[in-house]
Amino acid sequence: MKAFLQVFAILLSTLSFSPSQSVRVIASYCYLYCEPSFESEVVLEGDQPYMAVLGDTLTIVSDNDSDFALVSVPDTDISGYIYKYYITANSSQIVYPVFNGKTRRESVLYDLDKKPTEYTLRSGQEVYIYSGYDDDQVYTAVQVVLENGLLYNGYIKTSDLAPDGISPLLIAGIAIIVAGVTVILSLVLIKKTKKQKKLDKKQK
C-alpha cells in the first residue's frame, strides 16, 4: 500500500537559494552536516554539535539543487550543510508552501525529536507533507503555518493526517483488494498442495 501513498507535491525550484542570501530556521532545532547527507558527521562548535534553533538567521554559501544547502553562521567561522526544508528566505514576505494535506482532527504538533510542542493544529488545517506519506508510520513530517504567520517544520501523528488526492474509501478499497487477492492465492496454493499429495500417493 505504501507505493500508493507516496506524496510529493512541491517543486524543488521553490526551494532554490542564492549565495549570500539570508535565511531563517523554521524547525524547532536542527544540526549542520559536514556533507549534504543526514548520514554525515555533524558540524561541531568546540567539542559539541552545533545546533541551529527556530528563528536563527543563516547565510547561504551555495545551493546545488539537492535537498541540502551549504550555509554559514553569521559572525562565526561555522559552516555546514542544512536540510533545505528546515529554512526559509528571511524576508518581509514569507513564501508559503503548496499545501498537500490537512488534519482530520485537532492535532498536537511535535518537534523534530517527536516530542510534543506547545502548538496545536486545528481540525482541517492545511499542511505540507514534504517527506512522503506512509500510513504504516506513527508520525509524518509536515510544514505548517502557525497562528502568528511563521512557518514551522515538525511532525504530527499520521492517523491525524489526510493527504490530498487520497480518499479514505480508496485506501479501504486497496486494503480489501489486497486481502481478497491474498485469500485467493491461499486457496489456490492449498488446492495445488492437495492435488500434489494425491499424485504422490498414486505414484507410490
Is 154 in contact with 110 (CB distance < 8 Å)?
yes
| Structural domain boundaries in the chain | 12-89, 101-163, 168-196
pLDDT of 47-67, one tens digit each?
999 999 888 999 999 998 788
Residue 193 corresponds to which cell in the numbers above?
A: 498442495
pLDDT of 68-104, one tens digit each?
999 999 999 999 999 998 888 855 445 566 788 999 9
Q: H/E element holding 202?
A: helix 168-203
Domain at 12-89, CATH homologous superfamily: SH3 Domains (2.30.30.40)
Q: What is the mean pLDDT of residues 164-188?
A: 53
Residue 76 corresponds to which cell in the numbers above?
A: 562565526
Radius of gyration (C-alpha) of the chain in whole angstroms? 24
pLDDT of 145-160, one tens digit each?
888 777 788 999 999 9
Strands 101-103 and 68-72 come out as unpaired
Residue 15 corresponds to which cell in the numbers above?
A: 526551494
Question: What whole-number distance in Å separates Cα of residue 74 and Cα of residue 24?
Answer: 12
